[in-house]
A and B are shown apart, each in its own frame.
Chain A
């Protein structure tokens, strides 16, 4: 198995999809000669040409709509939005159009659209280039939402997303683009809606997604040094959500900490905590703990950014409280 970066894995998924299916094309800003500001489309213009590596004006609403129209006509467009924060520019097209056209047309419309966008705080990019808005899209029926945490999942989830006949929002973490990992050499697909147990354990379950899965794994190592055996589950998909894997893990450990980089209030962690609390009410040894970004815009100055974004120590602290049966946020 070759070891490649998360960005290179996404690049490979795109290139393989475009070689396999002439109906796959990419729309986005700076995706041509620059290769995307995070290098994900590097080299694709040279191989596939400007018709299929289609650089757009700075018109997110219109090129998102353009992707929807192409999808209605049998293409499999991949729309790259430079930062997930810029999805606000095309919320109508994504949430009122792509998400609803199939439903409103009684099943006549099929929209095999993939939307890629980077999330997460990185390097003091401040409040309009650092958000983790996954809850917005998971809250919109009609969209599928996936968040790869590793290079192998980046390859496998993006490949599956492009082949999916529904609109799929693939949220990639900016701090993961440079992370390396082993990736299968041949054809690789990760089904949508399958969580993965990244680390088995018996004392409690840490549930993460995207980069927070990596943070949870680091926290699990620290907890292991103090004789706490944490299981780590990576959700990988929010829609569809793999309820079975989450509940099976927590049914065994009877303690859960949910970690997400999105704003904690009304967010992903609340949904997962509600699921666990509802289904396993009588069996839990502690209230479900939640760790997420503070309910502020993401600040600029490094110590402020660090204060808002979940850190390893926040996860270990929540885990200890959970072990003691105390409620945390």
Chain B
């Protein structure tokens, strides 16, 4: 056993046992963040706060929600919305929060792409971030099923049906996932479990990995500049705060973040109180009916781009059916962002606008994903179907051509 001296204060007593001083230094006051950053670097803290808000509002919903096909709809729309004190508030926070968390994820993700923050030793940060995106998608999908309205039911039906496209085992896999031949009580209850326990646990694990992966390569900066963090930290600690390129996470960096967070939360609660309806599809206020399909099925806005890639291929090419092509394109779209650090062959770490070829690629990707999102909501008929096809093809081609574009760029800038 280690030796302990008598403590002079309660703080010291805890410090001896838990190493509070050292812990706070490592995690907060001597965790160094570059100075040369902008408000886009606050998205990580925004997401941590949003996740906390979702967990807390979820806990309150969990106390009255009933994961049973006969009770689920009323437990949400009657009990929580009308009987529980402020139940409506927790539901609206949860629903709007789920939507806004994806908005911030997309901003966070495209900030990373724009500034090249996935390169040169930062691959695990990028991959764990994409893993979080997939887990949040699973969380959003499983949560959407719970109110058991018509959209809940048919989204669950269509999305589980996607697995039927996998060769050989597809049909059995769909039955296994649903626990029945159709979306039923067993489906609802198991997705409830995923939504409130397994997926959140996985998310917490992935967040820890995401933060940890950031410790060694450190946070990127607005110029994509590489520098020695230890040297800059020494400068800061020696009192030369002005010429040091870093600031401590707490209190300096976080105080800037809290400022951004303040604006963000005003916007968020404005939506919660005055515009919650955008996250509340009217179709979902009809109770689930497996024998009556709504005229038009569409996912929430944050899934529209990948939904449109799935629908984009509506005719046969080279003997492969449109459905199979759509599924393959969908699978590629889900996975392709993971390998972005290896598709980008240029060693240049700079904001996209300072990269001669990459800037076109970046803005084309942004525009294409907006087009996919807009057309994902429209019925896939007539000209819409062709726009969907063209934008889906563009999406795939962008990733196919990225290695060539960036290799040409590396040549042009002379490997810098």
Co-complex (A, B) = no
